[in-house]
Structure 1
Amino acid sequence: MIAHLKGRLDSTDIDHAVIDVGGVGYLVGASSRTLASIGPVGEATTLFTEMLVGEDFIRLVGFARAEERDWFRLLTSVQGVGARVALAILSAFEPVDLSRAIASQDKAMVARANGVGPKLAERIVRELKDKVGGIAATLGPAAVNAPAGAGADAVSALLNLGFRPAEAAAAVAAAEAELDADATLDALVRLALRKAAK
């Protein structure tokens, strides 16, 4: 298993990069976000990787950040989501935005990615709603709903009370939509608890 590649960026194309590691060029599939962020050709770069092995192929897929790789693994665990569709989703959304869409069950947002129809988007948000917490835990509570300040603390408070990450994120998002931007943590948690109880 190849966990990451560290070398020189040899070239990029629309859906892959070639990383030169000690004179060996590794062709690595990647999302457009990863390709845009790995630096200029000729410079040193590091990619987190996932190796895909099939009956008649071995492929490497690369990611600029570990959380992107974690999302790739989650997405490809959904029936009907292969590597190509998972990369299209990761090209369309930052991990934080994807977390928010799944936590709030926003299948219309997920369906905006190339190759994702309404039925597949519904399956993705349904199957991943309870799994999104695993990635959120590695990124911190802010990743579930991308709130800042009081919002992040409110999500954390609900997680500590035993709410699932998706529930906590959705409740805080609903509370933030009703309250002013400068609402106190106490007010945010109280309203989020009322939203979660509905």
Structure 2
Amino acid sequence: MIARLSGILAETGADHAVIDVNGVGYLAYASARTLSAIGPVGGSVLLLTEMQVREDAITLFGFGSASERDWFRLLTGVQGVGGRVALAILSVLDTNELSRAIASGDKAMIARANGVGPKLAQRIAMELKDKAGGVAPGPGGATALPQGSAAADALSALANLGFRPAEAAAAVSAASDELGPEVGLDALVRLALRKAAR
């Protein structure tokens, strides 16, 4: 199982990115939100990933945040929602909007995504209503973290301390919002740990 990719962004397409990890190019399908946040070709990048193994294909999906990946897992657990449809939903709704749409049963909002008709939107809203509470709210959208950034390093530090990815992402996001973009790693990790422990 490939859980994340850290390397150089080799290329991007309409629905995917290729990450060069020590000379091996990994193609990861991603939401429009993640692709727009990933940075320029040639830059360092860290993507969280989910690998789907099927009889006829092995497909890698990339995410800019743990909350986006968690929502992808929930969405693909609904009958009729494959990886591409889940990415289409995450392209038009950020994780907070999706959470609100499901909590309020707003089928029309979910159906804005390509490939999602009214019946499928209703099934998603019904099946995920009780499960949505388990996903930590993320930042306003996907935030593909540049490798070596304080936020990426803080996320890694919390993960190494045993925090679940969604908990770590929520704590680091909240700490980053409070301290600002120029914060150092030590201060960010200290505040993120306090927020995660609450």
Q: Does 1:39 align with 2:42?
A: no
Structure 1 residue aligned with 2:78:
78
Match of 1:38, as an amino acid?
Answer: I
Partners of 1:99 and 1:27 lie apart in 2 by 28
- Structure 2 counterpart of 1:128, one-letter code: L
Aligned to 1:68: 68
Larger RCO: Structure 1 or Structure 2 (Cα < 8 Å, ≥ 6 residues apart)?
Answer: 2
Q: Is the 8 A contact 2:96 2:137 kept in 1?
A: no
Q: Secondary structure at the match of 1:114?
A: coil
Compute the TM-score of the two structures, normalised by the length of structure 2: 0.69
The one-letter amino acid paired with 1:60 is: L
Partner Cα separation in structure 1 for residue 73 and residue 8 of structure 2: 25
Shift of 1:56: 1.6
After superposition, residues 37-186 of structure 1 pair within 5 angstroms as: 37-135=37-135, 138-139=136-137
Structure 1: runs of 5 or more not aligned: 144-198
Preserved CA contact (<8 Å) 2:95 2:137: no
> Over aligned residue pairs, what C-alpha RMSD do you find?
1.4
Q: Helix, strand or coil for the counterpart of 1:103?
A: helix
- Output the CA distance in 1 between the equivalents of 2:85 and 2:26: 22
Report the alpha carbon displacement of residue 139 of structure 1 after superposing the two structures with TM: 3.0
Structure 1 runs of 4+ off > 3 angstroms? Answer: none
Identical residues among aligned pairs (%): 68
Distance 2:84 2:133 in 1: 24
**Could you state the TM-score of these two structures normalised by the residue count of structure 1?**
0.69
- Letter of the structure 2 residue corresponding to residue 109 of structure 1: M
